[in-house]
Structure 1
């Protein structure tokens, strides 16, 4: 995760590179992925603001973000 981006922006980054989802839909998709791991309420915080127990959860959504076949 890039420390200068929010958690949601970090999740959207692979979507930006893959360009498989319209830019207007990427944040919605990022929030869906963050909801799956229970940290959607942390979307607008920097990764460093997450508690130690929540940080591993923040790494899962970016790894599946580029797969937008849903």
Structure 2
């Protein structure tokens, strides 16, 4: 079975990298900043859609609004 928490962490890391790519000055490499922002924004949007789908698959629609149980240690 897929470890949903690990998958979320990987997506968070990808989001961090894409965020750094958005902040980078792409004009120094000759790339149009609007194109770079569009591509990076597409990755961020896909990241959020994947996370939402994963949560719905794991917890159901009503699970998105439930109070989280305490963390077990």
**Pairwise same-fold verdict (TM > 0.5):** no
Instruction: Please report the TM-score for the alignment, with normalisation by the length of structure 2.
Output: 0.29
Higher-helix-fraction structure: 2
Q: What's the TM-score once normalised by structure 1's chain length?
A: 0.30
